[in-house]
């Protein structure tokens, strides 16, 4: 077990291992996404109240949840990087920042597209929306801090510290936003009973796109991490062999 973990911490082992199961991950992710999207957007019946507008949940809910979940993953990686000085954990954290920020942006944009027909406005200062926006700011901060350093090592350590500070702060921000929101306006009903009253034809595709978008998180993080590995280990012999020699199965 420990030996396996130790091996997993080696960028080269990670690269070789992901080369093996990347095609599977890719296949499963694409399958889930295509089935979920075609079913959800094309065949699921329209909602009795929101008509076709509700279809945006197939993208909106998984990306919004994913954005928070990716932050947790990034924080775990940052902690591993700070505690055990694990280079690979930092490379994964760096990839997580970009993927998380993208998911956050997609969640915010799809949310505003959904808000216009349902609430009548693109944006309201609802607790959930505000917390999501601040999460996006924090992702941007982590990315900006890392890229501001010339030295890779300092930049990655600094980004890890900021990520961990953010982890302490995010729950507080969330509760602050909720408190603040209840002072000014009642919380908006975000779609009401999403799964309860709706027929299974509506919510089953959510599982497909949901797991598909989770798969996409892993796919994007792994692909970015592989690039990062190649870049950081560009002086290593095995990377030289990989680039100049016989191309391996990718």
By C-alpha distance, which of 117, 144, 135 is closest to 46?
Answer: 117
Select the span of 14-22, 115-123, 155-163, 217-225 touching another protein (CB under 8 A): 155-163
Work out whether 176 is an interface residue with another protein (CB under 8 A).
yes
Work out whether 169 is an interface residue with another protein (CB under 8 A).
yes
| Nearer residue to another protein within complex by CB, 150 or 246 | 150
Cα 48 off chain centre by? 32
Work out whether 124 is an interface residue with another protein (CB under 8 A).
no
Question: Residue 54 half-sphere exposure, CB side, CA atoms within 13 Å?
Answer: 21
Per-residue burial over 83-117, b if 16 or more Cβ lie within 10 Å, else e, is: eeebbbbbbbbbbbbbbbbbbbbbbbebbbebbee
Select the span of 71-79, 118-126, 140-148, 231-239 touching another protein (CB under 8 A): 140-148
By C-alpha distance, which of 24, 77, 58 is closest to 194?
Answer: 58
For residue 231, the minimal CB distance to another protein (Å) is 21
Select the span of 112-120, 142-150, 200-208, 237-245 touching another protein (CB under 8 A): 142-150
Query: Residue 164 in contact with residue 79, Cβ under 8 Å?
Result: yes
Select the span of 115-123, 173-181, 204-212, 231-239 touching another protein (CB under 8 A): 173-181
Structure tokens at 124: 């309201």
Work out whether 144 is an interface residue with another protein (CB under 8 A).
yes
Query: To which residue do tokens 């900021």 refer?
Result: 162
Residues in the site for another protein, rule: CB under 8 A? Answer: 82, 134, 137-138, 140-141, 144-145, 148-149, 151, 153-154, 157-158, 161-162, 164-166, 168-169, 172-173, 175-177, 179-180, 183
């Amino acid at each position: 077990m420990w030996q396996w973990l130790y091996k997993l911490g080696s960028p080269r082992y990670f690269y070789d291992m992901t080369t093996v199961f990347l095609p599977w991950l890719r296949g499963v992710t694409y399958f889930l996404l295509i089935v979920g999207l075609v079913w959800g957007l094309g065949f699921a019946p329209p909602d009795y109240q929101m008509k076709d507008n509700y279809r945006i949940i197939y993208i909106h809910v998984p990306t919004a949840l994913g954005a928070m979940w990716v932050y947790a993953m990034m924080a775990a990686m940052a902690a591993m990087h700070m505690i055990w000085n694990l280079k690979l954990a930092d490379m994964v954290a760096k990839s997580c920042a970009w993927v998380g920020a993208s998911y956050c942006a997609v969640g915010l944009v799809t949310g505003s597209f959904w808000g216009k027909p349902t609430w009548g406005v693109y944006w309201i200062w609802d607790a959930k929306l505000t917390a999501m926006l601040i999460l996006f700011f924090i992702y941007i901060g982590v990315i900006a801090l890392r890229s501001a350093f010339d030295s890779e090592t300092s930049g990655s350590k600094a980004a890890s510290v900021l990520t961990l500070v953010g982890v302490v702060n995010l729950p507080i921000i969330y509760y602050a936003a909720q408190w603040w929101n209840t002072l000014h306006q009642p919380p908006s009903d975000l779609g009401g009973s999403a799964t309860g009253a709706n027929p299974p034809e509506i919510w089953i595709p959510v599982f497909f796109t949901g797991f598909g978008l989770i798969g996409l998180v892993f796919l994007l993080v792994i692909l970015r991490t592989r690039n990062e590995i190649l870049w950081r280990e560009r002086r290593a012999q095995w990377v030289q062999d990989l680039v100049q020699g016989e191309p391996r199965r990718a």
